[in-house]
Amino acid sequence: MKKNILLLFITLSSFFFYAQKKELTPQEEAIEIEGVEDIPIYPGCEKKDKALHKKCLEHKIKSLFIRNFNTKIAKALKLKPSSYATYVIFTINKKGIVSNIGAIGFHYKLEKEGVRVAKLLPKMKPGKNNGKVVAVKYTYPVIITIE
């Protein structure tokens, strides 16, 4: 059901954008993913070599967004030809559950859709630093290109 007018491109070139940070208690403080020794492990990535965990995590998240992001929303907004970014920000908490989901983007409807899709992410094996379980902050860019 691809239309020539709308293509969805989800890029992995930059996963690490900084968003405005809300006040968190020290127990809830999340570490940016690039600062974590052992990143969270997505289901199905457990048996991969440790060096491949990040690549597998990124691939699985990308696949989930490609399958589930409703591109018809952008078409309905009648946007001018260009690329539009929505950054979906979430935390993989100490229990491996995706929480604190938010989005920053061009249009609130695209932000809302990004949050909806992020809520579909499964429970993961949590990240670790110095052998201790930590909450990990993750930012995923959704880039929609209108031709």
Write out the chain's pLDDT in tens, 147 residues.
Answer: 333 323 333 332 333 333 333 444 444 589 999 999 999 999 999 988 888 999 999 999 999 999 999 989 988 998 888 999 999 999 999 999 999 999 999 899 999 999 999 999 999 999 999 999 999 999 999 999 988
Q: What is the Cα–Cα distance from 115 to 137, expressed in whole angstroms?
A: 15
Beta partners for residue 91, in sequence order: 99, 137
Q: What is the Cα–Cα distance from 17 to 37, expressed in whole angstroms?
A: 19
Show the domain range for 41: 6-146
Alpha helix stretches (DSSP H) within the chain: 53-68, 72-76, 108-118
Residue given tokens 């696949």 in the structure block: 63
- Looking at the 3D structure of the chain, how many domains does it have? 1
In this structure, are residues 85 and 142 in contact, taking their beta carbons and an 8 Å threshold? yes
Query: HSE (CB half, 13 Å, CA atoms) of 14?
Result: 7
Asked if residue 1 is part of any domain, the answer here is no
